[in-house]
Structure 1
Amino acid sequence: MRVRKAVLTDAKGMAKVNVDSWRTTYQGIVSSSFLEDMSYEVREEAFKRTLENSQNIVFVAENDSIIGYIVGGENRYQERFPNYQGELFAIYLLEDYHKKGIGKLLVREFRRDLRKNGIENMMVQVLKDNPSRSFYEKLGATYIGEAIIEIDNQELIEVVLAWSNLSFVM
């Protein structure tokens, strides 16, 4: 298994991880119809746009194929959370690869890239009922607020967690 910077041709593998991860992680949280309607092709196009944007920081974890990814960059919510320069937009792993240290490796590489760009703190928004929320808390993220998002006409609460200093030990 290795972690590396993502390239445009990774979009298809990232889409598979995204859709499959949503279907396992958010079952019982997000509506079943939304999860069933998720499309590999639609997500692949979205990841192509993500990868074409040079402002985004994207890494993938792979064995024979992509098994996980992390995406982030500058904080998109500066007005609401002005004390945080960076943001982890998303991190997903296929379910079979949870609790094997791969998420930490992805965060380590992502954090290293943020720091190279002069960013020394970051935030993440995670669904309150996401069973993987504790992953961030174990890495030292602390609660700074909440936000309401809508997915498929369903209002859900996102918890906003942050690291005030990216020198945390992993």
Structure 2
Amino acid sequence: MILREATRHDLLSIAKVQVHSNRSTYVGIMPEDYLDNLSYESKANEWDEKLFKGTVTQFMYVVEAGDGNIVAFASASLIKTNDLFEREVNSIYILKEFQRKGIGRLLIKSIITKFIEINVKSMIIWTLEDNPSHIFYKHLGGNIVDKRIIDRGGKSLQQIAYAWEDITCIFGHSNR
């Protein structure tokens, strides 16, 4: 596995990971027609806007498998998006067959390392309450600090926010 920063060349592969992850994780949670209508092209365009065009507001790490294919990614904000916490982890997507192999920890650790380099001390991440992977954030020491309702395909879904007031405590001092 190779971890690196995302490039514009990766956009279609990133979009494929996101679409496939959504379709495998959210069956029975999000409306079927919403999941069916997710497209690689629209997701690639969304990531292009966030990562490479105009005022860049996010950064992203990708993980490549041995064959060079991207199997996971995570993005985070470069600007303050929350009144209580300095930065936000915006997304983590890992293809189902690559989950539970330490990739999520690798991605979070990389984001935290970058945050520490720019003197960020706290962070937040929103996840669907029905996402079975949300327990991952609890295992990393996150505390639920907020809830909100979002709409996906006409269905109201509960999101929960996990936060850390001191991100250096997540993996100890090895990420300094």
Q: TM-score, normalised by structure 1?
A: 0.94
Q: Which residue of 1 aligns with 2:94?
A: 93
Per the alignment, residue 51 of structure 1 pairs with: 51
Cα displacement string for residues 104-162 of structure 1 (whole angstroms, at most 9, x for unaligned residues): 00111111111111111100111010010011111111010101111111111100110
Identity %: 28
* Displacement of 1:75: 3.9
Measured after TM superposition, the shift of residue 18 of structure 1 is 0.2
- Which structure 1 residue ranges, 5 or more long, are not aligned? none
Counterpart-to-counterpart distance in 2, 1:55 and 1:34 = 26
Provide the C-alpha distance between the structure 1 equivalents of 2:109 and 2:14, rounded to a whole number of angstroms.
Answer: 19
CA RMSD of aligned residues (A): 1.1
Greater Cα offset, 52-61 or 20-29: 52-61
Aligned to 1:62: 64
Ranges of 4+ aligned residues in structure 1 off by more than 6 Å: none
**8 Å Cα contact 2:23/2:35 also seen in 1:** yes
**TM-score, with structure 2 as normaliser:** 0.91
Do residues 165 (structure 1) and 158 (structure 2) align?
no
- Equivalenced residue count is 166
Report the 3-state secondary structure (helix = DSSP H, G, I; strand = E; otherwise coil) of the residue aligned with 1:72.
strand
In structure 2, the gaps of 5 or more residues are: 172-176
Match of 1:12 in 2: 12
Cα gap change, 1:75 to 1:136, in 2 (>3 Å): farther
Residues in 2 aligned to 1:16 and 1:107: alpha-carbon distance in whole angstroms = 21
